[in-house]
Structure 1
Amino acid sequence: MATIVSPLPGVFYRKPAPGKPPFANEGDTIEVGQTIGIVEIMKQFTEIQSDVAGTLESFEVNEGEMVNPGDSLVIIREG
């Protein structure tokens, strides 16, 4: 299992914008470099990309939840 962590503080979003579909869902096959969410701080948005390939097992934070650097965002089962 691999854990994707937040590189910075801010608000985590699973969608690129309200009303849009999420970047990824639990059970999806994830590729290296695929965007799985964004973190927003002071109107600046940073894409969170996977550094491993596998299956998205779970999101560790909810949509719109505050995160800190090093907080777990997503668990990916490699393979």
Structure 2
Amino acid sequence: MSEHTVRSPMPGVFYRCPAPGRPPFAEIGATVTADQTIGIIEVMKQFAEVKAGAPGRVTAFIAENDALLGPGDPVATIEAG
């Protein structure tokens, strides 16, 4: 199995949940599809979904919730299957 690194599509603040108090889009250990949203990036009140990019199991979130990210910064890792 190979490891896929999910990267930020743009600069902004990374959120694992769709809104405060809501459950995260995905947890560590969750099985995801390539087009599944695992987080969002917010910049100037505009939001962009962060997609898994590969089917498999989420093994880690590298970016913390509320982290300021640059384009291409690592967000999570997925064990692609």
TM-score range, shorter chain: over 0.9
Matches within 5 A, 1:1-79: 1-79=3-81
Q: Percent of aligned pairs with the same residue? A: 47
Q: What's the Cα RMSD here?
A: 0.5
What TM-score do the two structures reach when normalised by structure 1?
0.98
Q: Structure 2 length normalisation: TM-score?
A: 0.95
4+ residue runs over 2 A deviation: none
Distance 2:28 2:73 in 1: 18
Superimposed CA distance per residue, residues 17-64 of structure 1 (whole angstroms, 9 cap, x where no aligned partner): 001000000000011100000000000010111120000000001000
Structure 1: stretches of 5+ with no match in the other structure: none
Structure 2: unaligned runs, 5 residues or longer: none
